[in-house]
Amino acid sequence: MEGTTESSVTTPTQEIQLPLLEEAGICLRIRREDLLHPVVSGNKCRKLKYNLEEALRQRHDTLLTFGGAYSNHIPATAFAAAENGLRSIGFIRGEELADSWKDNPTLKYASEMGMQLEFVSRTAYRKKTDKAFLLDLENQYGRFYIVPEGGTNLPGIRGCREILQPGDEAYDVIACAVGTGGTLAGISMSASEKQKVLGFPALKGDFLHKVLEGLTPNDNWTLTCDFHFGGYGKVTGELIGFINDFKAQTGIPLDPVYTGKMMFGLLKMVEEGHFEKGTQILAIHTGGLQGITGMNGILRKKNLPLLTV
């Protein structure tokens, strides 16, 4: 992807055919944003698009960003920076990773793309938006363009507004996973007045309600907070089994951090009768498949079933 890509990039939509949906009279389709780009897939491609354009417009030569050990955002930013001739610096949460990051496929790939990795404590990481902290970074690393954690800022939200395509007005519900909130905010702002935007947080806690109120002026969204499986990056055997079964039945791979939890929750809501017969639902596949390799490493250590690759 480059900073001057076309304004309207479309991705295919695939109908999900499962007995549960047929019995409930629900039409569920999934927007395959995971096919948007071979490396920078899904919402990361959308969020980086206008951030790259802004960085290049301001004549920056360095992108600086933040993320966790298995963040989809970190390798995506590293690749996008390299493709646009920019330097990249990634501040990674967890100073203990400094001695083991080469065993982490996400961080190893980012480094191979030229990203300079800096490992900080969780206490220091929480200062990532403090002005004094950022000024210290500028004094240390020179001038840079900040892409916030998860790519959620005004340019990132602008990119996510382009996920919905002409004709999507036919859907009653738009569903997506929620991390930092930028994807749902963008969808909320481009959805029609009659549509309901349903978010499935991958993080534990209710703080995202307040975050989203500051990201979108619309009130057409709700959060369903019962399917985080223990919190960000947490998985169970039940979730892994669901993701593998879903792929076997539909041919569609899901990631365990975001889309797997979203689809599990969405189908559970169908099963429990939360949607009226005839409801048309569009689920957004936000990518994140790069994290499967790293997650399988964790599952192997815990003697849990592996995700089908």
pLDDT tens digit string along 205-262?
A: 889 999 999 999 999 999 999 999 999 989 999 999 999 999 999 999 999 999 999 9
Tell me the pLDDT band of 3, cut-offs 50, 70 and 90. very low
pLDDT at 13: 97
pLDDT at 2: 57
Which amino acid type is present at position 296? N
pLDDT tens digit string along 66-123?
A: 999 999 999 999 999 999 999 999 999 999 999 999 999 999 999 999 999 999 999 9
pLDDT tens digit string along 51-63?
A: 999 999 999 999 9
pLDDT at 147: 98
Tell me the pLDDT band of 1, cut-offs 50, 70 and 90. low
pLDDT at 51: 98
Closest to 250 in 3D by CA, of 258, 54, 259, 273: 259
pLDDT at 4 over 50: no
* DSSP helix/strand/coil, 66: strand
H and E: helices and strands count for the chain: 12, 10
> What number is the average pLDDT over the span 271-282?
98
Residues sharing a CB contact under 8 Å with residue 141, sequence separation 6 or more, in sequence order: 62, 64, 89
> What number is the average pLDDT over the span 126-147?
96
Spell out a b/e string for 48-77, using b for 16 or more CB atoms within 10 Å of the CB, else e: bbbbbbbbbeeebebbbbbbbbbbbbbbbb
Greater pLDDT, 302 or 29: 29
> What number is the average pLDDT over the span 167-175?
97
Whole-model pTM: value is: 0.94
pLDDT at 38: 84
pLDDT at 7 over 70: no
pLDDT at 6 over 70: no
% of the chain with per-residue pLDDT over 90: 92
For residue 201, what are the β-bridge partners? 178
